[in-house]
Structure 1
Amino acid sequence: MVLAEQVTAPVAYHAEGAVWSAGWGGLKWVDMLAGAVLSLDAATGAVSRLDVGSPVAAMVRPRTGGGIVVVTEREFTLWEHDVRVRTSGPVWPDTLRRFNEGGCDPTGAIICGSMSYARESGAGEVFRMCPDGTVERLLGGVTISNGLGFTADGGRMYYVDSRTRRVDVFDVDGGRPTARRPFVSVPDGAGNPDGLWVDEHDGVWVALYGGAAVHHYDAGGTLQDVVEVPVRQVTSCTLGGDDLDTLFITTSRENLPPGEQPRAGAVFAARVGVRGLPVLPFAG
């Protein structure tokens, strides 16, 4: 068991979507409900913010040609030098749902799932935007679509719908996820599975919202490590740093009373001795 240490002030209300890319200089994450992308200067510890103009910013990924892709409330948006240059437009017409979490696949497409603001069972969907800008629906009938990642060979996709309290795994056939089945179930009382990251051995690191921890499962689904976090609402994690063996962890103070858990909203980190897979970029 490892205890994570605080590396930033509590700079976010609901931090999510941690991702490390050497190409953009280190760690980025989002302050989701504030609609901002945050960046950590590893040398100074300073945190900068980019307002993306949406009440919800779900996730951020690098682009192969430079810049970033940000998933906002209902859109996939492309950015260069902190300027938005293109958008998919709203993926669905109503404002009852929002994008929540996802990642890029080995083909260079970006995948993100959704959830209803009312957390209505089965109201969420998962969409993919291909590098040419076309958007397609991959999955339906999900409730709180959350962490998503691929094995090193791209042959399997791990996926969390938090309401199920499971990490599921799919086979990937022609770029499409198939043969969904349970990978691990999170025990009652341990928190709800949220964001995840995959390591070089195809193990899965899962943030546990309400559980004050990140669980590490090996490729067979056996619990190997527990990283404890000194706040309860743990939202996402990524393996980064120069050797990709530092686990960065985001946290939230959503719905917490003033003064409770004063470090909630900070980023924490722990050296875990396992290298993560590099982030997959968006090819558009």
Structure 2
Amino acid sequence: MHRTTALPCAPEPGRLSEGPVWDHRSQELLWVDITAGLVHRGALAPRADGTDLPDVHVRGTLRLEGTVGAVLPTWSGALLTAAGTSLITVTPSGTAPVAILPVESDGAPRRFNDAACDPLGRLFVGTMAFDATPGAGTLYRLDPTGLRPVVAPVTISNGLGWSPDGRLMYYADSATGQVDVFDYHLMTGAPSRRRVFARVEGGVPDGLTVDAHGNVWVAVWGAGEVRAYAPDGSPIAMVDVPATHVSSCTFAGPRLDILVITTAREELSPAELRAQPDAGRLFVCRPGTIGQSPDLYDDPTTEHTA
């Protein structure tokens, strides 16, 4: 099994850094700090010490009210954010609502969590209860008529990704301790035939990304690791991260050969924080493979350009 160690990056640690995504058009990295309500934009840049791996320099930060579970680039150039219970687009001229999370009959407070787009630009976004009540979450697909439930019930809706041919969808409901895989009908956006892809021990599966060869890279919360699985579910690689709470990962850079990893400080004791001074930071490594070209949210009124 191939094993490597990730290096910390310059941006200050976040409370709950999450959801890194690469925008190949602007060559920018986007990520969020969920509980701080922050959306960050950054760029890869050389390290001051001359190390071969890049660093990340912050270009700008947007503060939203409440939590922000995810940010995604769009074809129109706007940013789509999953902020609290609202999907909102953000442009230099302001914000615009896209959809609102339906209120459930039990009245339990919920919020949006992780989100991703399929190869045709459809948005999938998951939810969870603020107190992680079992079964209180749902994975939704955003259709022209609004949010449509596609997987329920779930507890903590997290990582999402698609195989390079678009025929498989990978999904982590963290509370299950496993990553599942669905057959995926690309023309309709319908997942089916759910089954276990990989069981995760010694930690909790969180965000994930799928590389250009169909390998699935899973951030393992509580383990200080990103683990890679071949398309058949067998483990093939591991990235050691010097921060226990690893939350997500994505491939970035002009060649999509840099794995960017987010981590968190939340749920760590004062003693654990002293032992993990870089907890909450971004980390990078070069794992020896490349990612897929990022899938952008297909705004309904967008005219696509290269």
Match of 1:129 among 142, 147, 151: 142
Percent of paired sites with the same residue: 36
Aligned to 2:290: 275
Q: Secondary structure at the match of 2:25?
A: helix
- Cα deviation for residue 82 of structure 1 reads 6.8
Instruction: Provide the C-alpha distance between the structure 2 equivalents of 1:136 and 1:251, rounded to a whole number of angstroms.
Output: 30
Q: Following TM superposition, where does structure 1 have runs of at least 4 consecutive aligned residues deviating by more than 6 angstroms?
A: none
Q: Does 1:186 align with 2:197?
A: no
The residue correspondences of 1:1-284 to structure 2 (distance < 5 A) are 1-43=3-45, 45-47=56-58, 48-53=60-65, 55-81=66-92, 83-92=94-103, 94=107, 96-130=109-143, 132=144, 134-173=146-185, 174-187=188-201, 189=202, 191-258=203-270, 259-260=273-274, 261-284=276-299
Instruction: Provide the C-alpha distance between the structure 2 equivalents of 1:193 and 1:90, rounded to a whole number of angstroms.
Output: 24
Q: Please identify, of 36-45 and 9-18, the stretch whose mean Cα deviation from structure 2 is larger.
A: 36-45
Which of the two has higher C-alpha Rg? 2
What is the TM-score of this pair, normalised by structure 2? 0.87
Cα deviation digits, residues 235-278 of structure 1 (max 9, x gap): 00001111101100000000223443221110000001211112
Q: CA RMSD in A?
A: 1.6
Instruction: Provide the C-alpha distance between the structure 1 equivalents of 2:93 and 2:193, rounded to a whole number of angstroms.
Output: 39
Give unmatched runs, 5+ long, in structure 2.
47-55, 300-306
Cα deviation digits, residues 151-203 of structure 1 (max 9, x gap): 1111110000111111100011321111000001012x2x1100000001111
Q: Please identify, of 250-259 and 88-97, the stretch whose mean Cα deviation from structure 2 is larger.
A: 88-97
- Cα deviation for residue 120 of structure 1 reads 1.3
Q: Report how many residues are paired.
A: 280
Instruction: Provide the C-alpha distance between the structure 1 equivalents of 2:298 and 2:289, rounded to a whole number of angstroms.
Output: 27
Report the residue type matching 1:64 in the other structure. Answer: W
The answer (yes or no) to whether the contact 1:19–1:28 under 8 Å persists in 2 is yes
- Cα deviation for residue 33 of structure 1 reads 0.4
- Cα deviation for residue 283 of structure 1 reads 0.6
Instruction: Provide the C-alpha distance between the structure 2 equivalents of 1:244 and 1:129, rounded to a whole number of angstroms.
Output: 27
- Cα deviation for residue 108 of structure 1 reads 1.6
The answer (yes or no) to whether the contact 1:148–1:197 under 8 Å persists in 2 is yes
Q: Secondary structure at the match of 1:196?
A: strand
Q: Secondary structure at the match of 1:278?
A: coil
What is the TM-score of this pair, normalised by structure 1? 0.94
